[in-house]
Amino acid sequence: MKLWLLLIGCALLAKEPLAQRIAHSDASKYRAIRSVHAGAGELKFVGLFDASTFSTNFIFLHRGVIPPGGGIGHHYHNHMEEMFVILDGEAEFTIDGRTSVLQGPAGAPCRMGRSHAIYNPGTKPVEWMNIAVGSIKGKYDASDLGDDRVGVAKDAKPVFINMRLDRALLRPGPGGVMTRRALTPEVFYTNWSYVDHVLVPVGGTLPAHRHEGVEEFYYVMAGAGTATVGNESAPVAKGDAVPVFLNEVHSFKNTGTELLELMVVGVARQKWALDTVMVGKE
């Protein structure tokens, strides 16, 4: 316990100011890579967070686009879990050799010991992100299968776990904020805890709260607002990703003119650590 407290204390001392640790999806910084995991065409992306960003077993957040005819080839992960997410358009998702078309915004987690791939057969680029969480801190692994998944048979309905970030599925909460847990901890084998979908009305606020055993990042899918973490505040807009560390009090206010839409990814220090403490109710 003392060692854990020491590590957390060191992490807090080393934190950058909030405005500097918010990552921005800047398309001018995307790099093009061909034949990713023996996939078709190319992929364009940049890393927003890596394994050094968090104290939990978060590995990375990548953000980019899949051009027409591009994708990521069929491959395995044995010590980590990964999820491809598309924010618009549609793409062919493969899990364990079964392929279906998903309409964005949507995603499909690939659990440990399973295989996955993604392909854009359309004529327009697809906005894409990739999230990875490991069973071992900082460990990435992958084994390619030499399969680009181009022209494969498709199931009309997915036979694999997937999530839809559909506003129509959200449920009302305090202050007019709409929320939904898109993926629960039971989905994952690692300490990946959840994926939430949140919609904050104009002038509304996602109330201040903290997590003793879970770290999060908030990705802004639409709109603009102000993120407050601890005693710091900073503006956020579409494409920004805000990291929130253990025990940090945080809230989000919609200061824009349209709905503030957020995707929230939580990774626990220990499995099933789903603590949420509302500020003022401790």
| pLDDT average, residue stretch 33-54 | 98
pLDDT higher than 70, residue 94: yes
Rg, the chain, Cα only: 18
Q: How many C-beta neighbours within 10 Å does residue 156 have?
A: 6
Q: What is the pLDDT of residues 154-165, one digit of tens each?
A: 999 999 999 999
Q: Where in the chain is the domain with CATH 2.60.120.10?
A: 14-164, 167-278
pLDDT of residue 174: 87
* CATH class assigned to 14-164: mainly beta
Tell me the CA distances in angstroms from 36 to 40, 179, 243, 248, one per residue in order. Answer: 8, 34, 27, 36
Q: Which residue has the tokens 């603009």?
A: 224
pLDDT of residue 251: 98
pLDDT of residue 3: 43
pLDDT of residue 204: 97
Amino acid in the structure at residue 186: E
Query: Which pLDDT band holds residue 276 (cuts at 50, 70, 90)?
Result: confident
| pLDDT average, residue stretch 247-260 | 98
| pLDDT average, residue stretch 156-185 | 96
What CATH superfamily classification does 167-278 receive? Jelly Rolls (2.60.120.10)
pLDDT higher than 50, residue 120: yes
User: What percentage of the chain exceeds 70 in pLDDT?
Assistant: 93
Q: What mean pLDDT is reported for the chain?
A: 93
CA dist., res. 172 & res. 29, Å (int): 37
| pLDDT average, residue stretch 154-177 | 96
Residue 258 host element (H or E): none
pLDDT of residue 7: 45
Q: What is the pLDDT of residues 182-234, one digit of tens each?
A: 999 999 999 999 999 999 999 999 999 999 999 999 999 999 999 999 999 99
Phi-psi group of 146: left, alpha or beta (phi > 0 → left; psi -120 to 50 → alpha; rest → beta): left
Give 186 or 275, the one with higher predicted confidence: 186
CA dist., res. 131 & res. 81, Å (int): 8
User: What percentage of the chain exceeds 90 in pLDDT?
Assistant: 89
CA dist., res. 75 & res. 149, Å (int): 11
Sheet with 205-210: strands ordered across: 232-237, 224-229, 250-253, 205-210, 277-278
pLDDT of residue 11: 47
pLDDT of residue 14: 52
| pLDDT average, residue stretch 66-80 | 98
CA dist., res. 257 & res. 186, Å (int): 37
pLDDT higher than 90, residue 273: no
